[in-house]
Structure 1
Amino acid sequence: MSDIGVIARKELLDLRRDRLFAILIAFLAVATVISVAVAAASFRTQLDAYNLYVEQLAASGSTVVPAAPQLFPLQLLRGSVEYLEILGALFAIVLGYGTVAKEKYRGTLQLLLSRPAGRCAIPGGKIIGLAVVWGVVVAFLTLATTVAILVIGAAPLQTIDFVRILIAAVVAWLYLVFWSALAVGVTALSPRLSTGLIVAIVIWLAFVLIIPQIGDTMDPDNQVPGGLFATLQIQKPDELKVLANFAAFDGIRNGLEVSSITKHFERLSFAFLGIKDKYNQQPLGIVWADMWGYAATLAAATVASLTFAVGVTTRRTLQRKIS
């Protein structure tokens, strides 16, 4: 087995014994399943209200029957995606930081560095181990949420729905690997282990919470539940005419949002899962035509993060680590 394979296997064995990691993933799994259950319960409440309204119309002699609310199964995953983009990124940072920090705290760093391994063996092995672990975690979460849709949501899934879920799972895997690799690189580059964790969390705060929230706040349509334009009963063509007068403002707002890797993950997931109404029930080709740029950026960012982690995680940077 190559040096990279040996270190990757070591990482997998370490993570398998890590109780904190198991607890974090279990918490994330429970949160995503509960989000599906809450979304399903919300739809049932809407359906009950609709049925009651129809009964009242019938009792009053009215023959006008409004359209019934429709359940699109994959839209039940909205909460799961949001948990993954926030908590998943945070857990990925903790995991990436831990792969470097544990060698110092356990006193195994010098033993690891004493191996006649190649330049990229240590960072490459650690990152491969992390990628494999996140692949297993994403597969587990995907299975759990799919079962939740079928059982708790009582919603049937078609073959195309499974394909959409698989695409979203790949996007989630890239997103989590990005954050873990970034944390590895930042921790290796920082003179103190604690500094590496703090810097990684600051980056998480900025690009996962602060920048997307600023962009959402600048969007006037997000200021009213259900959408400002929908509340005012403004049709789509008229909405576009209104927004055309604020093109510069909207360009700045959108630019802020897309500067965050989290927004790329969210928009890709929402589009392929049909959570965003514009892409609901649309063929995958149409979705891909609009989303390929976001996919390319996410893939490029992940490659850049991996390259950064491998490039800065050297024997010199690892040996200077202090607690």
Structure 2
Amino acid sequence: MTDLFAVAYKEVLDLRRDPLLGVLLGFLTVSIVISVLIGSADFHGQLDAYRQYVSQLSSSNSTAVPAAPQLFPLQLLRGGIEYVEILGALLAVVLGYGTVAKEKHRGTLDLILTRPLRRFSLAGGKLVALSFVWFVIVAAISLVSVLAVATVGGAALSGHDLVRVLILAVVAWVYLIFWSALSVGITALSRQLSAGLIVGLVVWLVVVLIMPQIGDTMDPDNQVPGGLFASLQIKKADELTVMAHFSGFDTIRNGIEVSSIEKHFERLSFAFTGIKQQYNQQSLRYIWADMFPYAITLMAASVASVIFALLATTRRTLRRKLP
């Protein structure tokens, strides 16, 4: 284990000097603060419109007053979650690629491989370092998110909200490890450095952007702002009755969506933060009962990605070049 931690320590030092990490953390911090600010401004706009409407009702002596809009603090994090979901995954691919590519680019790979390293020490050390770096980054942006909601968002967070933020942080950490480990394995198998990055970016493009977009486009309820059924004032029970006639189509559409690991991360995150309305203000036990399959799949995918990186990163594959 000594050689594994030696590689991990060396990798953490290299990553600490990488300017990309500073850019990543700074960008995510600014993006989260801005998204919380926009969400808060949107809520206050709705509140002002509500007050004007109530004032008009009062002047017309109407007693039918609608419920006031409510601010649910964790819903302000939607923009930040989407940044991690898309751009975080992209940067995880780039970081994973860089941990292998830099050794070949600098010519230090042959020197490292002269050391008596165990079979999985090199890949394991790099993955441990990446996991640690992502732990630090996720912890930092989680703290920023809490502070942003409490300050610029103007919303008070309860103890239950903080627990949900912690769950969200764990889910994000596992998701980012998946992408970095996958990128490490792909780069190790590539005969040419540029091919490793290109393949990693293509996988990211298909999994994060193309497949979820196909699923969203096939969903008729997403074709109208606010939802097709809501705009037609169709009740939930009637909506389910209508969709029952298209069960085969909906199964295919949902299958395309959930075949993307990005959708598993999104559904878990949106459920635990209450962004998905059906889970808003629900207990963790209720949410967990619905989200357990997604959590298992996300964890299994990350474990499989780590195993792939460990098996792919060998002396033979690292030294292999184009004929």
The CA distance in 2 between the partners of 1:16 and 1:241, in whole Å, is 55
Q: Is 1:75–1:275's contact at 8 Å kept on the other side of the alignment?
A: yes
The CA distance in 2 between the partners of 1:14 and 1:264, in whole Å, is 31
Q: CA deviation at 1:53?
A: 1.3
The CA distance in 2 between the partners of 1:37 and 1:114, in whole Å, is 53
In the TM superposition, 1:224-239 aligns within 5 A as: 224-239=224-239
Corresponding residue SS for 1:30: helix
The CA distance in 2 between the partners of 1:63 and 1:223, in whole Å, is 35
In the TM superposition, 1:135-284 aligns within 5 A as: 135-284=135-284
The CA distance in 2 between the partners of 1:271 and 1:33, in whole Å, is 21
Q: CA deviation at 1:239?
A: 0.5
The CA distance in 2 between the partners of 1:143 and 1:245, in whole Å, is 46
Q: Does 1:2 align with 2:2?
A: yes
Q: Does 1:13 align with 2:5?
A: no
- Larger deviation: 52-61 or 85-94? 52-61
The CA distance in 2 between the partners of 1:33 and 1:203, in whole Å, is 30
The CA distance in 1 between the partners of 2:109 and 2:16, in whole Å, is 20
The CA distance in 1 between the partners of 2:145 and 2:25, in whole Å, is 14
The aligned residue for residue 112 of structure 2 is 112
Corresponding residue SS for 1:66: coil
The aligned residue for residue 123 of structure 2 is 123
CA deviations over 1:276-318 (Å, ceiling 9, x no partner) = 0010011111111111000000000000000000001011111
The CA distance in 1 between the partners of 2:161 and 2:52, in whole Å, is 31
Corresponding residue SS for 1:225: coil
The CA distance in 2 between the partners of 1:28 and 1:161, in whole Å, is 21
Could you tell me which runs of 5 or more consecutive residues in structure 2 were left unpaired when the two chains were aligned: none
The aligned residue for residue 311 of structure 1 is 311
Q: CA deviation at 1:110?
A: 1.4
The CA distance in 1 between the partners of 2:268 and 2:24, in whole Å, is 25
CA deviations over 1:180-238 (Å, ceiling 9, x no partner) = 00000000001111001000000000000000000001001111111111111101110
The CA distance in 1 between the partners of 2:207 and 2:115, in whole Å, is 37
Amino acid at match of 1:274: G
The CA distance in 2 between the partners of 1:208 and 1:259, in whole Å, is 10
The aligned residue for residue 65 of structure 1 is 65
The CA distance in 1 between the partners of 2:90 and 2:30, in whole Å, is 16
Q: CA deviation at 1:64?
A: 2.0
Q: Is 1:11–1:129's contact at 8 Å kept on the other side of the alignment?
A: yes
Corresponding residue SS for 2:117: coil
Could you tell me which runs of 5 or more consecutive residues in structure 1 were left unpaired when the two chains were aligned: none
The CA distance in 1 between the partners of 2:213 and 2:7, in whole Å, is 39
The CA distance in 2 between the partners of 1:62 and 1:145, in whole Å, is 41
- Larger deviation: 296-305 or 152-161? 152-161
Amino acid at match of 1:158: S
Amino acid at match of 1:180: S
The aligned residue for residue 54 of structure 1 is 54
Amino acid at match of 2:202: V
Amino acid at match of 2:119: R
Q: CA deviation at 1:321?
A: 4.6
Q: CA deviation at 1:35?
A: 1.0
The aligned residue for residue 42 of structure 1 is 42
The aligned residue for residue 99 of structure 1 is 99
The CA distance in 1 between the partners of 2:59 and 2:15, in whole Å, is 63
The aligned residue for residue 292 of structure 1 is 292
**Structure 1 residues 232, 17: CA separation in 2 closer, same or farther (over 3 Å shift)?**
same
The CA distance in 1 between the partners of 2:25 and 2:48, in whole Å, is 35
Amino acid at match of 1:270: F
The CA distance in 2 between the partners of 1:52 and 1:151, in whole Å, is 26
Q: Percent identity?
A: 65
CA deviations over 1:60-115 (Å, ceiling 9, x no partner) = 22222111101111111111111111000000000000000111222211111111
Q: Is 1:193–1:321's contact at 8 Å kept on the other side of the alignment?
A: no
TM-score scaled by length of structure 1: 0.98
